[in-house]
A and B are shown apart, each in its own frame.
Chain A
Amino acid sequence: MYATNYHRASSVEEAVNLLKSGDDAKFVSGGQTLIPTMKQRLAAPSDLVDLRHIDAMKGISIDGVQVTIGAATTHAEVASSAELAGVCAAICSLAAHIGDPAVRHMGTIGGSVANNDPAADYPAAVLGLDAQVRTSKRTIDAADFFNGMFDTALEEDEVITAITFQAPEKAAYVKYPNPASRYAMCGVFAARLKDGSVRVAITGAGNDGVFRHTEMEEALAADWSPAAIASCSVDEGDMLSDIHGDSAYRANLVRVIAKRAVEAAA
């Protein structure tokens, strides 16, 4: 790893100012992707601005059906929140299966969503719950947030402060993890929202990051059952292909995991 300057911000404003004053500064919020990348010398930011200690960005609050998760909340905190499990157990179970315990105690929801790794779990939940991404500048709907793998609507100096969503009527997240990294080879977040609409958000399988499968959503809106989506088509051309599984394998995996998610949320 090359030398870098570490800054611990205590407010969002301070974090933004620190980022702007650095030569080639980067936000870090858990660093479960960025630090290994820096150790490999594949990234060498001059300054790191740590967002994990900003009090205003921590914790989970629930007001009726409205859920707000601070961006600096760790996966372990989301996984173990009994209050959150009461309104949306799917997101707790998702967080409980990210990486390993070390990752879950360092990594944060804001960091995961901002990074938008094409195999990360949280982007599927954000899209699947039709959540809003609250930032230092604005509020962005999930539908407008993800721009293909590793790409988001965020500007360079924009910080995610919280993720908010309405508790769904029912939801489940099922993933088929890579046995070594536990990254999703395919992860499906299936939900029926309070307004009756259905979301099927898929991570790990698409070659351009998280995506919604509208054909499955329509089928499930009419009939919430695994059988309803058994014949839905998944375009192999849009699937990732790598040493862990080719695109035909992944296209089939999407159908299999989606059926399991629907069953789990029944």
Chain B
Amino acid sequence: MDLNGEEFIPAPRERVWEMLNDPEILRQCIPGCETLEQAEPDQFSAEVVLKIGPVKARFNGEVFIKDKNFPDGYRIEGEGKGGIAGFASGGADVILKEQEDGTLLEYRVDANVGGKIAQLGSRLITSTSKKLAGQFFGKFSELAAQAQTA
């Protein structure tokens, strides 16, 4: 499963880069993320509650930042185990392009799920991933715009 998208961020590229590396910003953007703590540089432990329709599963997992290439982009990855619910992993390649009055953030998301959650939700994985990615980058864009006007 792969999907692409882009989001215009009304902030300069260096500022967007800083925000993409800020654990507090990431916590607010990851849908259902309750805690995100820095374990090592570029590695965080996270607790995420995934709530889709009747399903409500808590995942404990890790978030990694890889392939850092300031200020052009990076790859953010996450993996988690939801106990009996199964496991989920996914990542996004993020590319930042400078534009006249802001930054164009392009992303390519890949996701995998296994275990019971995959069995029950196989028909919905693509649309769910699309929705979660949209929420993440939508929230990110909103926070960046706020920071810019503040």
- Whether chains A and B associate is yes
Q: List residues of chain A with CB under 8 Å of any chain B CB.
A: 33-34, 37, 40-45, 115-119, 148-150, 207-208, 240-244
Contact A241 B55 (CB under 8 A): no
Q: B85 — nearest CB in chain A belongs to which residue?
A: A42
Instruction: Say yes or no: B126 contacts A208, CB within 8 Å.
Output: no
List A contacts of B54 (CB < 8 A). 33-34, 37, 42-43, 115, 150
**Chain B proximity of A187: nearest CB distance (Å):** 14
Closest to A244 in B: B123
Apart from A34-B54, A37-B54, A208-B127, what are 8 other A-B pairs with CB-CB below 8 Å?
A42-B54, A42-B56, A42-B57, A149-B128, A149-B131, A208-B131, A242-B122, A242-B123
Which one of A148, A242, A243 has the greatest number of beta carbons of chain B within 10 Å? A242
User: Are A43 and B56 within 8 A (Cβ)?
Assistant: yes
Are the C-beta atoms of A150 and B123 separated by less than 8 Å?
A: no
Q: When the two chains form their complex, are residues B126 and A241 in contact, meaning their CB atoms are under 8 A apart? A: yes
CB neighbours of B120 from chain A (8 A): 37, 40, 42
B interface residues, Cβ below 8 angstroms from A: 52-57, 84-85, 116-117, 119-120, 122-128, 130-131
Interface SS of chain B: helix, strand, loop or mixed?
A: helix
Q: How far is the CA of A149 from the CA of B116 in the complex (A)?
A: 20
B130 contacts across to A, CB distance below 8 A:
207-208
A142 to chain B, nearest CB (A): 19
- Please, which residues of chain A bring their CB within 8 A of the CB of B85? 41-42
Chain A contact residues: helix, strand, loop or mixed: loop
Indicate if the CB atoms of B116 and A41 lie closer than 8 Å. Answer: yes
> Which residues of chain B are within 8 angstroms of A241 by Cβ–Cβ distance?
126
**With A240-B126, A244-B123: A115-B131 Cβ-Cβ less than 8 Å:** no
| Complex contact A149–B124 (CB within 8 A) | yes
Q: Is A207 within 8 A of B53, CB to CB?
A: no
> Contact at B127–A37, with CB atoms within 8 Å?
no
A240's partner among B55, B117, B119, B127 (CB-CB below 8 A) is B127
- Give the CA-CA distance A34 to B117 in the complex, in Å: 14
**Which residue on chain A has the smallest CB distance to residue B57?**
A42
| A-B CB contact pairs (8 Å), 20 listed | A33-B53, A34-B54, A37-B54, A40-B120, A41-B84, A41-B85, A42-B54, A42-B56, A43-B56, A43-B57, A115-B53, A118-B127, A148-B131, A150-B52, A207-B126, A208-B130, A242-B124, A242-B125, A242-B126, A244-B123
Contact of A42 among B116, B122, B128, B131 (CB under 8 A): B116
Given the complex, which residues of A lie within 8 Å of B123, measured CB to CB? 119, 240, 242-244
**Most chain A beta-carbon neighbours within 10 Å: one of B53, B119, B120, B130:** B53
